[in-house]
Amino acid sequence: MIQSFLNTERAQTVKSIAARLAPRTNGEANKLSVEDRSVHDWYRFVLSFPPHLVRTYLSRFGVTERQRVLDPFCGTGTTIVECKKLGIPSLGIEAHPMTAFASRVKSDWTIDPAGLGNDARRVAEIAEQKIKNGKVEFELPPDAEKILLRDSISPKPLKKALAILAAMDEAGDPEFREHELLALAKTLVFTASNLNFGPEVGVGKIKSDAAVVLSWLENIRIMRQDISKLKDMAVITSQISQDDSREMVNKLEPMSINAVITSPPYPNEKDYTRTTRLESVILGFINNRKELQNLKRKLIRSNTRNIYKDDSDAAHIDNFPEISMLANKIEARRVELKKTSGFERLYASVTRQYFGGMARHMASLRQALAPGACLAYVVGDQASFFRIMIRTGELLSQIAVSLGYELIGIDLFRTRLSTATRSQLREEIVVLRWPG
Ligand SMILES: C[S@@+](CC[C@H](N)C(=O)[O-])C[C@H]1O[C@@H](n2cnc3c(N)ncnc32)[C@H](O)[C@@H]1O
C-alpha cells in the first residue's frame, strides 16, 4: 500500500515540498518558515513543532488522501492543519481545553471570511465605545485572577480584552465567535500581555497599555485572508477530541489510523498548564484552582506540579528494570546531595509515572492502528533531575517494542543546550511501525 502510493502525484508533491523546506541547520529545525505561516500562525505556542516536520514524515510514511492521520497530543494542531492543507484526513486528541479549542478552530475553514470581517468590525466598534466611556466595570472573577501568573497582564490591556469579550456577547454573531475568540487569544499573548517565552513562560517588561483592539482586528484579517486562500480544502475531514490519550480503548474506530505524528510531553520540569494560562483563564477555559487541578490530572505526568498521591501509571512499567534503575538513581542522587524540598522528592516519581503514562497511551492506541501503520514520536532527552540523563527516545522505543510495535529507527531532530549540564541534549523522532 505504501509503495504504490509513493508513485502517485500527491506523494511526489508531498515529497518535493518536504525536500524543499527541509531545514539546513540545527537552529532552523524548530522554526515556522514564512511559507508555512498561513493558519499555523493563528495561534501557536512555544511547545509546537514545525509543519515541515509533519510533511517530512507524511512523505516518508507515504500517507495518502484515502488514509487517516492521528496526533494524540495535538497541542495547537500543527499535524492536523498540515494534513488538511495537503488533503489528508486527520484526527487530533488533546487534553487541555485551550489548545484543543485552538486546534478545532484552526481546522475549521468553513466560515464566510467577509462575514467574519463585518462581524469583527461591529464588535470592535462596540468594544471601543465601552473602553471610551469606561462606565462598565471589566474585571476577572477573583478565583480566576488568583490562578493568573502575577503581572502577566496590566490592568488597561486586560480591560480592553474584556471589553472585546463583552461586545462579542452583546452583538457578535455566534457563527464567528470561536474564530474571534482564537484571534483574541493570540492578541492576549503577543500584544496585550507582559509575557515572554524562554522555553519557560515568564513575565518580562511590564507595559502599561497596548493596542488590543487593533491587534485583534489584524489577527482577524489574517484569518480571513488564509480562509479565502484555503477554502477548497475546507471539506477535508479533521476532527478534534478533548480527551486523555492514555485512555483511547473503545474511543477510536478499530484499525482506522494509518499514521501517527505527534510530540507528547517530556519528563522535565515544564508545567504545561502555565504556558497557556493567561488565555485559558481570560477565555474562560479554566476558572479556578479546582478546575486547574482537574485539568492537570488529565495530563501525562511530566513534572512535579502534576503528581498526585493516587497516581498509578507507574504500574504499567513494572517490568522495565531500566526505568526503575533510572528512578532509583535519581532518588539516590537526591539523598547524596541532601536535597529535601517537596519537589525534589518527587523527581523519581515523575520519571516512573511519565513512562508508565506513555506505556498506557501506547497500549491503548494499538486497537486503533491499521496493520502497517507508521508512527513518529518527537521527544527530547532530559537532564533536569540532578543532571541525570533521561534518554526519553530510547526508553520509549523499548516500551513500544515490548507492546508489539516494531522500531524502525530513532532520527535526530535537533540538539538543545541543557541549562543544567551545559551539554547538548538530543531531540529525537522515534519511528515505529504497527505490524501487519
Ligand atoms: C509538546 S505539546 C504538543 C505540541 C503540538 N505538536 C503542536 O504543534 O502544537 C504536548 C501536548 O500534549 C498535551 N497532553 C498532555 N497530556 C495529555 C494527555 N494525557 N492526553 C492528551 N493530550 C495531552 C499537552 O496539553 C500539550 O498540548
Residue 126 Cβ inside 6 Å of ligand 1? The answer reads no
Helix axes 321-337, 392-402, angle to 10 degrees: 150
Per-residue confidence at 26, pLDDT binned at 50, 70, 90?
low
pLDDT of residue 272: 87
Pairing of strands 69-71, 201-203: unpaired
Does 3 score more than 60 pLDDT? no
Atom of ligand 1 nearest to the CA of 44: 9
Tell the residue nearest (CA) to atom 16 of ligand 1. 299
Q: Which helix (H) or strand (E) holds 380?
A: strand 369-380
CATH class of 2-109+234-433: alpha beta
Atom of ligand 1 nearest to the CA of 76: 9
Query: CA nearest 293: which of 102, 147, 142, 185?
Result: 147
pLDDT of residue 21: 39
pLDDT of residue 423: 80
* % of the chain exceeding 90 in pLDDT: 83
User: 282 CA distance to ligand 1 centroid (A)?
Assistant: 21
Residue 99 Cβ inside 6 Å of ligand 1? The answer reads yes
Does 7 score more than 50 pLDDT? no
Per-residue confidence at 139, pLDDT binned at 50, 70, 90?
confident
pLDDT of residue 137: 65
- How do residues 78-130 score in pLDDT, each as one tens digit? 999 999 999 999 999 999 999 999 999 999 999 999 999 999 999 999 999 99
Residue 96 Cβ inside 6 Å of ligand 1? The answer reads yes
Tell the residue nearest (CA) to atom 7 of ligand 1. 48
Residue 242 Cβ inside 6 Å of ligand 1? The answer reads no
Burial class for 153, CB neighbours closer than 10 Å (0-12, 13-18, 19+): buried
Q: By three-state DSSP, how is residue 280 classified?
A: helix
Per-residue confidence at 154, pLDDT binned at 50, 70, 90?
very high
Does 212 score more than 90 pLDDT? yes
Average of pLDDT values for 243-270? 94
* DSSP single-letter state for residue 149: P
Question: Which one-letter amino acid corresponds to residue 298?
Answer: K
Does 251 score more than 60 pLDDT? yes
Does 422 score more than 70 pLDDT? yes
User: 248 CA distance to ligand 1 centroid (A)?
Assistant: 15
- How do residues 271-301 score in pLDDT, each as one tens digit? 889 999 999 999 999 999 999 999 999 999 9
User: 74 CA distance to ligand 1 centroid (A)?
Assistant: 5
User: 8 CA distance to ligand 1 centroid (A)?
Assistant: 33
- How do residues 221-249 score in pLDDT, each as one tens digit? 999 999 999 999 999 999 999 999 999 88
Atom of ligand 1 nearest to the CA of 357: 19
Residue 75 Cβ inside 6 Å of ligand 1? The answer reads yes
Q: Where are the domains of the chain?
A: 2-109+234-433, 113-232
pLDDT of residue 18: 41
Where do runs of H (alpha helix) occur along 299-425? 321-337, 342-345, 347-365, 392-402
Mean pLDDT lowest among 192-196, 298-302, 368-372, 415-419: 415-419
Atom of ligand 1 nearest to the CA of 75: 27
Can you say how many angstroms the Cα of residue 33 is from the centroid of all Cα atoms in its chain?
18
Burial class for 328, CB neighbours closer than 10 Å (0-12, 13-18, 19+): middle
pLDDT of residue 381: 95
Q: Which of 15 and 37 is assigned the larger pLDDT?
A: 37
Residue 94 Cβ inside 6 Å of ligand 1? The answer reads yes
**Cross-sheet strand order for the sheet of 369-380:** 238-242, 90-94, 69-71, 257-262, 369-380, 424-433, 406-417
* Residue where the block lists cell 475549521: 108
